[in-house]
Amino acid sequence: MTAAIILVPILAGIATFFVKDGRCRNMVLVATAAVHFLLSLLSLFSGASPILGGILHLDETGHLFLCTMSLLFLVSSVYAAAYMSEEHEAHKESVGDGVYIADSHGRLFSASLLIFCGTMSLVCAAGHLGVLWVGIEATTFASAPLVYYYRTRRSLEATWKYVMICSVGIGFSLIGNLLVMVSFSGAADGSLFISDLKGAAGAADSQMLMVAFVFFLVGYGTKTGLAPMHTWLPAAHGESPAFVSSLLSGALLNCAFLGIFRIHGICWDAGIGSFSGGLMIFIGLLSVGAAAFFMVAQKDYKRMLAYSSVEHMGIAMLGAGLGGVAVIAAMLHVINHSLTKGMLFLTSGNILSAFGTRRAGEVSGLSRVAPETGLLWFCGLLAICGTPPSGLFISEFLIMKEMFSGGRFLSASLLLVFLFLIFGVMARAGIEMFFGPSPEGKSSWRESKGRILPSLFLLLLTVLLGLYLPEGLLDFLRKISGGFQP
Amino acid sequence: MNNSLQIVFILMIVANFAIIASSRIRGCIKLLSLQGVILSLVPFSHLDIPHALFFCTLILVVKALVFPALLQRALRVVRARRETEPIVGYSASIMLGLGALIFSFWLCGRMNIAGRGGSELGISAAVFTIYTGLFIIIARVKAITQVVGYVVFENGIYLLGSSLMLEQNILVELGVILDLLVFVLLSGIVVFHINKEFDHIDTNSMSDDGSAHKGVLP
Amino acid sequence: MADTRTMAFNLLPLLCGLILAPFMIGVVNRTKAFFAGRNGQPLFQLYFDIFKLLRKGAVISRSTTWVFRGAPAVSLASIVFALAIFSFSQEGAALSFPGDIILAVYMLALARFATVLSALDTGSSFEGMGASREVMLAPFAEAAFLILILAAAAASGSISAATMFSAAVPLPVRILMFVSLFIVLLVENCRVPADDPNTHLELTMIHEVMVLDNSGPDLGMIFYAASLKLWLFASLTVCCIMPAGLTGSVAGDIAMRVAGVFCVSVLVGVVESVMARFRFDKVRRMLLFASALSSLALLIALGATA
């Protein structure tokens, strides 16, 4: 089962590379995504046993991240199919920044998209730190062609930045792996199996493990988009097509976050949880602050969403660092962020198609030009800021509550200030773009179902999670946070 | 510790200085291949002969032959200017390198590596190599030079892994080499595209658009 | 009797240097001639030149002062002084006391100072330019040299030249010292990548341009001092690879040293033949590279003794 989850998208990806017909490729894409989602659900409910001697082991955390990723991938690929077929019809129509898209590189694109899904599944399923590292590395290489979809100068620059910075980050986490081996050389005989490490954590060389954690935090933190290593993120998210941005933000960042979360779990068992947690709280708060700071001056709405991802990864990092109940909140936050941000990026693709610009100042009157898109955009922006009944409200509220009850008044009030600032920026952008006067002579944009329903579905899901938390999910989250009892 | 291994580590450090100081991309790539040759001797320090021979050949082929050939080809294809175009001048680079060298020795002295069974000089050399790689990525403008910096960085990680004297690091060693192979192939493609798109491979002047994020690389 | 014997042995390396130094320049020139496909000058050419110049009278510009007249003698004397400290065998040197190495370094600096002053004293713009170039490179060369001496001191635990370059210094450190010292040798003695001793374009020279106004015995002294300086650095370079006391007997030591020095001079000749002169800023970079090597030697020496 676990092997199928990883191999199906990769094999399908290799197969699509040889399919010439665009429509057929889109069908394969959606079908594979659906199969992948079904397999993930099946594995979630039947429970997966470790395979390959524990190298691949889908535990509760892995399942949670896998299912979120798979769901988002399915929704995004439905959108992508609609997007690409529309583009195929309007062949050579100007899109975005006056760029003509030819479908000559569509094969590479579909293949990369599916392989990207496979590598992310590998990250979720990894039960071995080395395999985790290989998986995260592979996601970079699989997603680089996706960022370079539009083949413009700026997307090329974004790709270069993305590959270069993330590769350096990956190098740092390799050093972290080496140091973990050193610190466990006596206790676990240099093994990198997560279960072995957790079992032998008490006997580890804790000083060396601290150094290792710092390397992991910097290395995987680069990929998670934590400040100050976030510089690749706005460029890559801004320049790639909408459904790729949604996957980068909603699934890829989670995978890197999972890497840090795993190491944090080992540190927690080794008794240095307060050290690793403290660093995570610090870097999380820094990320929220940096995101707020950069967002105020941001004129590009896609980059604004990208900075919002930095912010939310920071909040999730904060929650995971706090330990205890806050871990539940952090997991909830990760899920809700994936749903909401994925939905927002998909909607931003509609806006880009309708207006042909990424400057927020040049987009107005969405309520008349593209009313359904506009409404989704407005509601999505409110949801991402944690306005009830969005699911993000619950997770942010829980984290805040934990911070206050833990006596962290200064950081909690700083967080509140930053969140308020971000809310202001987001609300202004939303109001101006939705209610503003529509440009003279701007005809309304045809909104196809394939490009509205995916966003609507995700929005409804996050609202549902805000109104009602199923007991099963809560149990599941409790199991995860069980490893982080203070 | 035996003298020959020590000389290998010293040669690594000297090669780093030479890469920092070289002003021609072609020379830089030659030095990189030289560093690959030096690095290929390292596996003999801690592995048994069959394994060591395997990794030695692998490193020689990948780092001393394939990468330099790929980079030279990229250089020929994109017809880049010959200078490495530093942001930080050559002399200042050497001085900074000297500072980094002293810092690495100090750091490894403090970490008490020798007490944990590793070789102190080897780890200092590895840390310095890592610094050198990062420095080249940051302080050189050209995409090709940045790739050179990344390879140096990975060489440093490999050296670190070997110097820590771990028994089960075969996985890590394979990982480093595979990772590099993919990276260099990918970056080769990107460099080629950069050239097609911009007629130069200068990453600093890519964003000519005001709305784009300034200061391209970290 | 034993004391006299020891003293004689201690003076022997110095005497070798004083007598054979001009011959070494001949070897360098012959090597270059070989590479250029020429027969070249006689090996003893510099001896003839020096004797010829000593028999001549000097022409001294009216605009100069006593500084100009005194400088060649001062520089020759200080280089002989430094050579006395650096000429050693396993039993000791002609002049040796703890900390003598510092004095030797200062003596070399004094020689440079005298030459630079005399160049400035002529009031010629060309010579001033040479002087400015010389002092621009000097700090870098001296830094590399001093750090190298520190490395030797740290590794051997001695602060006297005679015992510093001993076999107690680990081999990797000695190899680093050799390379660094060879670079310093090329720059200090105005050899090719740094400066061209043969060129007669004032614009490109460093050392030669400073002595354009000297003639007669003064010029002879300058030639002789230059050959002594080359001998000094070459013998130190040899000491890095073949430390004193390698053969066991003093005579064997000295013989080996002299042979080594001639090998180094051949090496210098080869380098001069196959390399082109560096651009001025690249010379500085080369010296910084040498400093880096010296520092590495120092770090390793400190690590080995700690």
Q: Could you tell me which chain B residue has the CA closest to the CA of A222?
A: B218
pLDDT at B74: 78
Does A154 sit within 8 Å of B212, measured CB to CB? yes
C249–chain B nearest CA distance, Å? 27
Calculate Rg over the CA atoms of chain A. Answer: 21
CA distance A238 to A121: 24
| Average pLDDT of the residues in B170-191 | 67
User: How many Cβ atoms from other residues are within 10 Å of residue A455's Cβ?
Assistant: 28
**Which amino acid type is present at position C79?**
I
Where does residue A470 fall: left (phi above 0), alpha (psi -120 to 50 degrees), or beta otherwise? Answer: beta
Q: Which of C136, C137, C299 to mutate to test the interface with B (most CBs of B within 10 A)?
A: C299
Dihedral, CA of residue C282, residue C284, residue C290 and residue C295, to nearest 10: -130
CA distance B190 to chain A (A): 7
- Range with the largest mean pLDDT of A183-187, A336-340, B52-56, B193-197: A336-340
pLDDT (tens digit, 9 = 90+) per residue, B26-72? Answer: 889 999 999 999 988 888 877 778 878 888 888 888 888 888 888 88
In a domain, B117, yes or no: yes
Q: Which residues of B touch C306 (CB under 8 A)?
A: 109
In degrees, rounded to 5, the angle at the alpha carbon of residue A23 between the alpha carbons of residues A83 and A103 is: 65
| CA B82 vs CA B129, B135, B193, B206, C220: distances in Å | 24, 20, 19, 19, 46
Any idea of the CA torsion for C60, C194, C154, B108, to the nearest 10 degrees? Answer: 150
Closest-CA distance of chain B to residue C275, Å: 16
- Domain containing B54: what range? 3-204
User: What pLDDT is recorded for position A92?
Assistant: 46
Placement of tokens 């002049």 in the chain: C95
Q: Chain A closest CA to B90's CA: distance in Å?
A: 23
Q: Which pLDDT belongs to residue A85? A: 76
Helix/strand/coil (H/E/C) assignment for every residue in chain C? CHHHHHHHHHHHHHHHHHHHHHHHHHHHHHHHHHHHCCCCCCCCHHHHHHHHHHHCCCCCCCCCCHHHHHHHHHHHHHHHHHHHHHCEECCEECCCCCCHHHHHHHHHHHHHHHHHHHHHHCCCHHHHHHHHHHHHHHHHHHHHHHHHHHHHHHHHCCCCHHHHCCCCCCHHHHHHHHHHHHHHHHHHCCCCCCCCCCCCCCCCCCHHHHCCCCCHHHHHHHHHHHHHHHHHHHHHHHHHHCCCCCCCCHHHHHHHHHHHHHHHHHHHHHHHHHCCCCCHHHHHHHHHHHHHHHHHHHHHHHHHHC
Burial A167-179 (b: 16+ CB within 10 A, else e): bbbbbbbbbbbbb
Structure confidence by residue, pLDDT tens digits, A59-115: 888 889 999 999 999 999 998 888 877 765 554 444 444 444 455 567 888 888 999
Instruction: Give the position of tokens 């082991």.
Output: A57
Nearest chain C residue to B17 by CA distance is: C289
Do the domain assignments include residue B211? no
> What ipTM does this complex have?
0.83
CA distance B107 to B10: 17
List, for residues C165-212, the tens digit of each pLDDT value.
Answer: 877 788 888 899 999 999 999 999 888 888 877 766 666 677 778 888
- The predicted-structure confidence for A170-210, as pLDDT tens digits, reads as follows 889 888 888 888 888 777 676 788 888 888 888 888 888 89
- Whether the ω angle into residue A228 lies within 30 degrees of 0, i.e. cis, is yes
Higher pLDDT, B204 or C189: C189
Digit-coded pLDDT (tens) for C202-249:
666 777 788 888 888 999 999 999 999 999 999 999 988 888 777 777
Whether the CB-CB separation of C117 and C134 falls below 8 Å is answered with no
Cβ contact B97–C292 (<8 Å) = yes
Does residue A329 surpass a pLDDT of 80?
yes
Q: Please check the confidence at residue B218 and state whether its pLDDT lies above 70.
A: no
Closest chain B residue to the Cα of A181, Cα to Cα: B166
The secondary structure of residue A248, as a DSSP letter, is I
Nearest CB to B94; choose among C175, C289, C303: C289
Q: Is the Cβ of A190 closer than 8 Å to some Cβ of chain B?
A: yes
- Can you tell me the mean pLDDT for A111-130? 90
Q: At what angle do helices A106-125 and A22-46 cross, to 10 degrees?
A: 10
Report the range of poorest mean pLDDT among A48-52, A434-438, A458-462, C192-196: A48-52
Rounded (5°) CA angle C231-C233-C238: 90
Q: Find where tokens 């050389």 sit.
A: A185
Q: Using CB atoms, list chains with 3+ pairs below 8 Å to chain B.
A: A, C
Query: Minimal Cα distance from C304: which residue of B?
Result: B121
Partners of residue B140 in chain A, C-beta under 8 Å:
none
**In a 3-state reduction of DSSP, which class is residue A95?**
strand
pLDDT at B115: 58
How high is the pLDDT of residue A105?
Answer: 66
Please say if the pLDDT value at position B216 is more than 60: no
Q: Closest-CA residue in chain B for A128?
A: B171
Geometric angle at alpha carbon A84, from B198 and A166, rounded to 5°: 50
In the predicted structure, residue C253 carries a pLDDT above the cut 80: yes
d(CA A172, CA A219): 5
Spans of all domains in chain A: 2-484
Contacts of C52 (CB under 8 A, 6+ apart): C220
pLDDT value of position A227? 83
Q: How far apart, in whole angstroms, are the C-alpha atoms of residue A322 and residue A336? A: 19
Contacts of B108 in chain A (CB under 8 A): none
B and A touching (3 or more beta-carbon pairs closer than 8 Å): yes
The bridge status of strand C92-93 relative to strand C88-89 is antiparallel
Q: Do B130 and A175 touch (CB under 8 A)?
A: yes
> How far away is chain A from the Cα of B50, in angstroms, using its nearest Cα?
22
- Band of pLDDT at residue B212, cut at 50, 70 and 90: very low
The answer to whether the pTM exceeds 0.90 is: no
Q: Which residues pair with A193 in a beta bridge?
A: A128
Q: Find which of A443-447, A451-455, C184-188 is predicted with most confidence, using mean pLDDT.
A: C184-188
Structure tokens at C36: 């250029």
At residue A401, does pLDDT exceed 70?
Answer: yes
Q: What mean pLDDT is reported for chain C?
A: 88
Number of folded domains in chain B?
A: 1
At residue C112, the pLDDT reads 93
Instruction: Give the N- to C-terminal CA distance of chain B in Å, as an integer.
Output: 38
pLDDT grade for A408, boundaries at 50, 70 and 90: confident
Residue ranges per structural domain of chain C: 2-305
Q: Where does the pLDDT of residue A287 fall: very low under 50, low under 70, confident under 90, or very high at 90 and above?
A: very high
Of B168, B197, B211, the CB nearest to A153: B197
Q: What pLDDT is stored for residue A100 in this prediction?
A: 44
